Structure 1
Amino acid sequence: MKRFPEGIQKEKTRTKKALGSLTFGSESSSSSRPSPPLDKEREDSTTRDFLDRILISFQGLNLTIIPSTFEEKYDPKEYDNPGDFAIATARGKAEEVAKRVRDDISNKFVVIGADTCISLENQVFGKPKDHEDAFKMLSLFSDCSHNVVTGVSVLIQEGETWNEISFCETTTVKFGKLVDEEIDAYIATGEPMDKAGGYGIQGLGGTLVESIDGDYYNVMGFPLHRFCCHMAAAIEKVTS
């Protein structure tokens, strides 16, 4: 039986790359964050939910989403574990943005980069290249557990230098047993193609998930709780 009939509209709530880089300026602003263009409203809705949660704790700071142009070319095989690989990629994103804002001496900045990957039996999975690649990934995940790993790099501006706080968060996700017809129907929705591991738990892909052990938001692409714990010290430095 197909859970995903052909023609179902693709949900655009992807966040695994949406939080590639954030920048906090220490100067407060009376204006609220500008609304995104109407054609991006749905795409950015989950990202804004994340940011709203963060801003509850850190009022008085400007927050700007700056997409990083960092080329994600690192080979996960060159790293001891998926966490180190994710942190290195997150650091690359953050450093690229930091280079663009460092000349603005009127503000102190905190730049946050994040990157998420999927790990199963020491193999790292990114976004599927095509339908066949997505099918292979989801077939491997069927009826077993895999890890969702997000690396975060926080760069804190201290005059002309930058200090870093980095960490990774791992959540274990257990898929139910999937049949080929079910996998093909899900891929036909288009949802898997822009997501690490070929699925999104916040969308139709959530119906594939039997259970999770760890931070749900980490599976969406950003470990919100642990991030806020680390940010308390960082914000104190920026505003002091």
Structure 2
Amino acid sequence: MRKLYLASTSPRRRVLLASLGLEFTVLAVPVDETLPPLPPGKAVEEVALRKAQAVAAKLAEAALVIGADTVVVHRGRVLGKPRDATEACRMLRELQGECHTVFTGVAVVAVPEGRAVAAHAATRVCFAPLSDAEVAAYVATGEPLDKAGGYAAQGLGALFIRRLEGCYFNVVGLPLHLLGEMLKGFGVNLLLREDSGS
């Protein structure tokens, strides 16, 4: 297989990709992560593509670069990463007892040919009701501060989720089935470890 690069410093994405038994290099380049004025799924695709293309521009060797971006949407409002504990508390109070949708955009860019594809996954997540004390205790752990929507489904935030419809890995930050299908379009089958070089 040609070399894989992950255009993200997210430890969750790194763990998910490593769980597939893949060798890859983490290389992130600062980009504008402002969401364009598009529907949420298309907006995160665009940001994921920016990330992947920024890394691809730095490479000379044959490689595939994976970019991703995740947002939470509740009642039509996009919730990114909270700026501080106060904003994390506000987000969690807004989400408690209700359902929201997590969108993750994924982009793959081939080097040196420059071919790029982007897609997204959407998962519906329903929270149990939370007391102010529970919200405060969770935020005090520090876990919500670098997570879209202010919670981690793979951590203590799992205690809030009473129902999930769609890909769990999407909520963590990298929908693995979607990524696998996208890589097949580049001639790479992760299960068979085949690379047709297309």
Tell me the TM-score range normalised by the shorter chain: 0.7 to 0.9
Other-structure match for 1:65: 26
Larger radius of gyration: 1
Count of paired positions: 186
Aligned counterparts, 1:135-150, within 5 A = 135-150=89-104
Q: Does 1:47 align with 2:14?
A: yes
Aligned counterparts, 1:8-87, within 5 A = 24-25=2-3, 44=11, 47-53=14-20, 55=22, 63-72=24-33, 74-76=34-36, 78-79=37-38, 81-87=39-45
Other-structure match for 1:162: 114
Query: Residues 86 and 199 (structure 1 numbering): CA distance in 2 closer, same or farther, change over 3 Å?
Result: same
1:89 to 44, 47, 55: 47
Q: TM-score, normalised by structure 1?
A: 0.71
Give the 4+ runs in structure 1 shifted more than 4 A: 43-46
Shift of 1:150: 0.2
- For residues 157 and 184 of structure 2, what CA distance do their matches in structure 1 show? 33
Q: TM-score, normalised by structure 2?
A: 0.86
Give the partner amino acid of 2:20: R
**Is 2:72–2:80's contact at 8 Å kept on the other side of the alignment?**
yes
Shift of 1:63: 2.2
Structure 2: give runs of 5+ residues left out of the alignment.
5-9, 189-194
1:99 to 54, 57, 60: 57
Structure 1: give runs of 5+ residues left out of the alignment.
1-23, 27-42, 56-61
**Is 2:35–2:44's contact at 8 Å kept on the other side of the alignment?**
no
Q: Per-residue displacement from partner, 1:168-207 (whole Å, max 9, x unpaired)? A: 0001100000111110111011111111100001011110
Percent pairwise identity: 34
Cα RMSD (Å): 2.1
- For residues 91 and 181 of structure 2, what CA distance do their matches in structure 1 show? 33
Other-structure match for 2:73: 119
- For residues 179 and 226 of structure 1, what CA distance do their matches in structure 2 show? 35
**Is 1:93–1:113's contact at 8 Å kept on the other side of the alignment?**
yes
- For residues 119 and 105 of structure 2, what CA distance do their matches in structure 1 show? 6
